[in-house]
Structure 1
Amino acid sequence: MDKKTILFDFPEGFKADEIRRAKLRGIAPDAELIFQDNNEINQDLIAKVNILIGMPRRSILKYASNLEWLQLLSAGADLYTKPGVLPDGVTLTNATGAYGKSMSEYMICSVLSLLMDFPHYRDNQRQHQWKSSGKSRHVLGTTALVVGLGNIGSEFAKRYKALGGKVIGVKRTPGEKPDYLDELYTADRLDELLPRADVVTLSLPSTGETQHLFGKEKIGLMKPDAVLVNVGRGTAVDTDALSKALYAGKLYGAALDVTDPEPLPAEHPIWDAPNTIITPHISGRWDARENFERVFEIICTNLSRYFDNKTLINIVDLSTGYKKND
């Protein structure tokens, strides 16, 4: 194998200290390792790189004439699957498996807050009002519809099941039902499943199939006392349709860690919608220590597999935006 040039384009908050750099050098002792540390990547540098690990500017990739493999730090890969972003023949891998635990905790926290009517009590507290809403519910006896059963959705389903809820899973392709699901269906059954759910969670990538999947029609199929949680990509939900449903009382509440557009404009009415939680895309931060460690292990695993001539893990299908075999 010819000597390879590996560029580590780590953003702020995702630095490889000297111990980790030594580990990377040990995996690829004969390669040239360049740690860019968030400085600007120029055309001359990117042109000689064979392996790029990080979240590079898409505009610079057209000059990556020798690039063989791009390893992302994120699970979402949609920004890099668009036609023309990557040179032909480049293998794209993501960090699926790194963020499920932290993002599922965010989802559980959001669901519990909405079912217990915490946003209402937060508003009461600001107004110094000691007053019950009379609407608190518990997970036990409720049904969660988990749309998207990758690492994130599966981790949430396990936790919801452990709390005593019923869990129905929806995935793109057929498969065997795991023990943590009560029922499993493919996406073509979504319309008939929505009226059964007290909680609907979305952890979907941004693809043509998922664009505004939850618009007026599907939101209208949900129970008026149901809640919606979205942590995947904001484009899966029509923000205007969701906002109108919340204000009209056609949906009880929502938790959004992602929105469309993103960032959410300050003047959008959904900011003030009843029983709504909005956070700025923080459920899967890569600078959280636990997430950093899991991403770093994925990087090391794939580098080892590359130099051992083994198939990489987490290869993304550029035509679908999903990890291959999902």
Structure 2
Amino acid sequence: MKKDKNILVVMPVKDEHKKTLEQHSQGNKFIYSSYDNVTQEMVQEANVIIGNVDPFYLQEAKNLEWLQLNSAGADPYVKKGVLPEDVILTNATGAYGPSVAEHMLAVLFSLQKKLHLYRDNQNQCEWQDEGGVMSLCGGTLLIVGLGDIGLYFARLMKNFDYHIIGIKRRPGQVPQDIDELHTMDDLDKLLPKADVVLSVLPDSKATRNIFNKDRFEKMKNTSILLNAGRGSAVNTEDLCEALIQGQIYGAGLDVTDPEPLQTQHKLWNVENVIITPHVAGDFHHPATLYRIVDIIAGNLQRYLEGEQLTNIVDTTTGCKL
């Protein structure tokens, strides 16, 4: 087992989380810090960093062997020159499925039942009927980016009798709760079938602006777009026009492009949009942090014992290998 390693932890952990991380790590030194209090010196001395440190510090991390992110997304860390060569990068895929999926489900149901409009009316002390609504049950769901979050969302939506189509980068065995599995080559022919489209795509050259004017024109005018991946997957200006022109019914966005969305941006005032400020996968639900710590503790034990790590990130795509 490896010893005498400097392990820098940059996460809001409690004593019970520290105990979980340290239980198989005797003979190694743990340094705990908040994101704001991390110093260049801490990063330079670390052999292992657990958590999302400022990428600027990593260029001088000469002793770093492994960076374990507390996020599923790895976009800032796969840019050229951020990480020294030979540093292993892993993420926390598997921790965020429940919290993000539940958040997006709540957003979807709010749009389908016009709860956002009634909340607006309540804020204005207006007693007003907003008319017809959509059923929560039945329909076709298209998940673009079928990872941990997408699979958990599919599991939830199965309870509402949805036909579920998943899109992955590579073909493979059809997962549980998925009725059809396709690759991105089929996106254009699948969009016209979908009542709900969930994007859980990472930021990459291949995914930027993948939801654009042409794609919105292929979607049903009753369809709802949900984005829980990266804002760059959706062309924001094209989305505004599609909503204003009635090409699609609504959008639920936990991520936007740009982010944060400027206060003067017209998307704020489009009627059938619910925007949340990239909080679906944060630490707001206590269970999320426990899942993150468990994933990281398992990887830490593998690292110290010289075993293969899980959730290794492909630095060319930003996705888990």
TM-score grouping bracket, smaller chain normalisation: over 0.9
What is the CA deviation profile of residues 84-112 of structure 1, one whole-angstrom value per residue up to 9, with x for unaligned ones?
A: 11000000010101010011111111111
2: distance between equivalents of 1:146 and 1:102?
17
Is the alpha carbon distance of 1:23 and 1:157 closer, same or farther for their aligned partners in structure 2, counting shifts above 3 Å?
Answer: closer
Task: Please tell me whether the aligned partners of residues 158 and 177 of structure 2 are also in contact (alpha carbons under 8 angstroms).
Answer: yes
Pairing 1:295–2:292 present? yes
Pairing 1:203–2:228 present? no
Unaligned stretches of 5+ residues in structure 1: none
**For this pair of structures, how many residues does the alignment match?**
319
Alpha-carbon shift at residue 31 of structure 1 (Å): 0.9
2: distance between equivalents of 1:266 and 1:220?
28
Pairing 1:9–2:10 present? yes
Alpha-carbon shift at residue 23 of structure 1 (Å): 3.4
2:126 is aligned, of 113, 125, 128, to 128
Counting only pairs closer than 5 Å after superposition, residues 218-257 of structure 1 correspond to structure 2 as: 218-257=215-254
- Corresponding residue number in structure 1 for 2:29: 32
Pairing 1:52–2:49 present? yes
RMSD (CA atoms):
1.4
Which letter does structure 1 place at the counterpart of 2:319? Answer: Y
Q: Which is further off, 249-258 or 176-185?
A: 176-185
Counting only pairs closer than 5 Å after superposition, residues 139-288 of structure 1 correspond to structure 2 as: 139-288=136-285
What SS does the corresponding residue of 1:296 show, helix, strand or coil?
helix
- Corresponding residue number in structure 2 for 1:82: 79
2: distance between equivalents of 1:102 and 1:39?
25
Pairing 1:114–2:111 present? yes
2: distance between equivalents of 1:25 and 1:160?
38
Alpha-carbon shift at residue 217 of structure 1 (Å): 1.1
Alpha-carbon shift at residue 21 of structure 1 (Å): 2.2
Alpha-carbon shift at residue 294 of structure 1 (Å): 0.3
Alpha-carbon shift at residue 308 of structure 1 (Å): 1.7
What SS does the corresponding residue of 2:94 show, helix, strand or coil?
coil
2: distance between equivalents of 1:226 and 1:117?
14
Task: Please tell me whether the aligned partners of residues 114 and 130 of structure 2 are also in contact (alpha carbons under 8 angstroms).
Answer: no
Which letter does structure 2 place at the counterpart of 1:81? Answer: V
TM-score under structure 2 normalisation?
Answer: 0.95
2: distance between equivalents of 1:56 and 1:284?
17
Q: Which is further off, 146-155 or 305-314?
A: 305-314
Alpha-carbon shift at residue 124 of structure 1 (Å): 3.8
What SS does the corresponding residue of 1:27 show, helix, strand or coil?
coil
What is the CA deviation profile of residues 143-190 of structure 1, one whole-angstrom value per residue up to 9, with x for unaligned ones?
A: 111111100001001111121111111111101112311111101100
TM-score under structure 1 normalisation?
Answer: 0.94
What SS does the corresponding residue of 1:63 show, helix, strand or coil?
coil
Alpha-carbon shift at residue 2 of structure 1 (Å): 5.3
What is the CA deviation profile of residues 228-261 of structure 1, one whole-angstrom value per residue up to 9, with x for unaligned ones?
A: 0001111110111101111111110000110000
Unaligned stretches of 5+ residues in structure 2: none
